[in-house]
Amino acid sequence: MATMNYTHPTISSLLTSDYSYQGETGTGQVALGTDFPSKILRLNVPEYGGKLVCQKGALLCASHTIDIAMEFSKNFSTGFFGGEGFVLQALTGDGDVFVKAGGTVIRRDLREGEELRISSGCLVAFSQGVDYDVQMIKGFANVFAGGEGLFMTTLRGPGVVWLQGQPAQRMISEIARRVPSGGGGGVYIGGGGGSGGGGGEGGSQGGESQS
């Protein structure tokens, strides 16, 4: 009997649901989607030392052999004041996990001692062995940076890091900022030149995975 753990997209740090195939023969299928246009990455945990750590909300589902737990930050206040909420989940065990990421997805292999500084909201996941530290950017002017822009995460190798170019919260904030307050016409996207025109193909890319 195969079992899969599904993480609820809106309360991912609190609840999971188990789906089990009860048939005597054959296999069953479960179709899952994201709550925001995203790419879906399938990662085999044993390939990365038996443990992955992901950003809050990134985990979509995991094999029943994967243990899901909170990964507490070294700086306890980080989890409360890290913009989008720098809460991490530890994924350990023998099996696959599916994580979601918005916009362009970048995989970066860090060498021993190599450091990478990123905006905290751009983190998707990292492998065992990667050390991390979260710090607030000093200066009152940074209050206007919005959300995760106030905090920078330093990742130190060795290990693998996955980053996203368009965190969901950042896109939502950007759209909200451009909505006319007077209830007028459409949403100004920016850019220049030309009158209106067709919709283009540059929209969000969805993710599709099969297990």
189 occurs within a structural domain: no
pLDDT of residue 200: 42
pLDDT digits (tens, 9 = 90+) for 31-78: 888 877 889 999 999 999 999 999 888 999 999 899 999 886 655 455
By DSSP bridging, strand 16-20 and strand 131-136 are unpaired
Going across the sheet that includes 151-156, the strands are 115-119, 151-156, 131-136
pLDDT of residue 91: 96
185 occurs within a structural domain: no
pLDDT surpassing 50 at residue 9: no
Q: What is the pTM of this model?
A: 0.67
203 occurs within a structural domain: no
Q: CA quadruple 134, 140, 142, 147: dihedral positive or negative?
A: positive
197 occurs within a structural domain: no
Q: How many CB atoms lie within 10 A of CB 47?
A: 11
Q: What is the CATH number of the domain that holds 115?
A: 3.60.160.10
- Reading the block at residue 189, the tokens are 């996207």
30 occurs within a structural domain: no
Domain count, the chain: 1
How many whole angstroms separate alpha carbon 133 and alpha carbon 208? 32
105 occurs within a structural domain: yes
Instruction: Of 81-85, 106-110, 149-153, 174-178, give the lowest mean pLDDT range.
Output: 81-85
188 occurs within a structural domain: no
51 occurs within a structural domain: yes
Site of tokens 């916009």: 103
What range does the domain containing 168 cover?
3-24+35-178
pLDDT digits (tens, 9 = 90+) for 137-192: 765 454 554 444 467 889 999 999 999 987 766 666 667 777 877 655 555 555 54
pLDDT of residue 187: 52
